[in-house]
Amino acid sequence: MVDYYPILAKAMGAPEAADPQWRRGIYDRARQMLVRELQARRPPTPRAAIAAEQAALDAAIRRIELEMSRATRRAVVRDDAADDQAGDIAATISVEPEPDRVPIAKPVRIGNATWIALACIVAAIGAGAYVWAGRTHKAAPAGTEASAPAKPATAAAPATAVATAKDGDLPPGVDGSAAAADLSYVFRRQPTFYRTLQPVGTVIVDKLQHFLYLIQPNNVALRYGIGLGGDCADLAGLRHVANKAEWPPWQATDDMIKRKLAKPGTMAGGPGNPLGARDLELDDRISRINGTNAPKTIGTSVIFGCIRMVNDDIVDLYNRVKVGTPVVVN
């Protein structure tokens, strides 16, 4: 397991580290980089190993914040002592709220030194993942293959099996919804501070960060994690929701059939359908925001599809927006 404390401590050496909001931005970036790096490893990193690394990173963050909090208290004590000498103080010492509870009120600016520190985190994660992979292979007896983790019953292969995509997409008909419970907290639905000139009710898609925002009042947005498919890699600008559908049918593309990733024909809506539980078709009649049968692809870019969300999130978004809702794609 990687010791993240000395790596994060380097980032906290930046002058901006005195700002709790800036630190929170660094922590969020580090968590995102950790999850993406581990999920991209081959062979796949077990969920337990990912959770252990996340716990190690969170422990390092708590240690740093404890040290920062103590430093803040010492500074407050010194200031209060000076005020007491002047006879101007009568209140007790106040402590700033924990950074994790403070909304980000301005964009996080990262200097070169901090980028280097974050790059070190990725390198450390990579080293740890390779160590884990080596231990896994060594654990198998000589002359035998390491057994693959047992798959959940809901992810059983369909009767007419097809090839599995290398980017983590599940074959049509395979329901991976059970994996949605293991979605990284970074990509789970949550309210967040978001300053924009767009009106309340607007949907904003951040393709680079793999987030979708539904603008709420008072500089707040509901943030959802998304997966980005190649069909929408070039999508940008202003669109509108043109149509809504529950448990829509799905039809394989010619390219998927050619690659033997799907069988010809139309699949009825239901668990295992690649379009998931809901579909929001945009006004170009090509792009869409929909559910997925492969929740592990949230936070990543895949070959096929457009903008995907876990089924619980697309149902939530579906119930909040209506036909005509503006969708801004960055």
pLDDT computed for residue 296 by the predictor:
93
pLDDT digits (tens, 9 = 90+) for 185-236: 899 999 999 999 999 999 999 999 999 999 999 999 999 999 999 999 999 9
For residue 117, what are its two tokens?
A: 């520190």
**Pair of tokens at residue 79:** 């200031």
Cα distance between residue 318 and residue 80, in whole Å: 53
Residue 297, classed as helix, strand or coil, is helix
Give the tens place of pLDDT for each residue, 60-83.
Answer: 888 888 887 777 776 655 655 555
The full set of domains in the chain, from first to last, is: 5-138 (no CATH), 158-329 (2.40.440.10)
Cα 220 to Cα 124: distance, rounded to the nearest angstrom: 34
Query: pLDDT of 256-288, one tens digit each?
Result: 899 888 889 899 999 999 999 999 999 999 999
C-alpha R_g of the chain: 23
Q: How far is CA 51 from CA 75, 105, 234, 285, in A?
A: 36, 29, 34, 40
**Dist. CA 267–CA 303, nearest whole Å:** 20
Other beta carbons within 10 Å of 101: 8
Tokens for 189, please give them.
């639905």
Q: What percent of the chain has pLDDT over 70?
A: 70
CA distance 209 to 194: 14
Q: Is the dihedral of CA 197, 198, 199, 205 positive or negative?
A: negative
* Helix (DSSP H) and strand (DSSP E) numbers for the chain: 6, 13
Burial class (CB in 10 A: 0-12, 13-18, 19+), 110: middle
SS3 assignment, position 192: strand
| pLDDT band at residue 43 using 50, 70 and 90 as cut-offs | low
pLDDT in the model for residue 231 = 93
Q: Is the pLDDT of residue 18 over 50?
A: yes
Q: Would you state the pLDDT for residue 306?
A: 96
The mean of the pLDDT values for the chain is: 78
Supply 16's token pair. Answer: 């901006």
Percentage of the chain lying above the pLDDT 90 cut: 41
Name the phi and psi angles at 77, rounded to 5. -60, -45
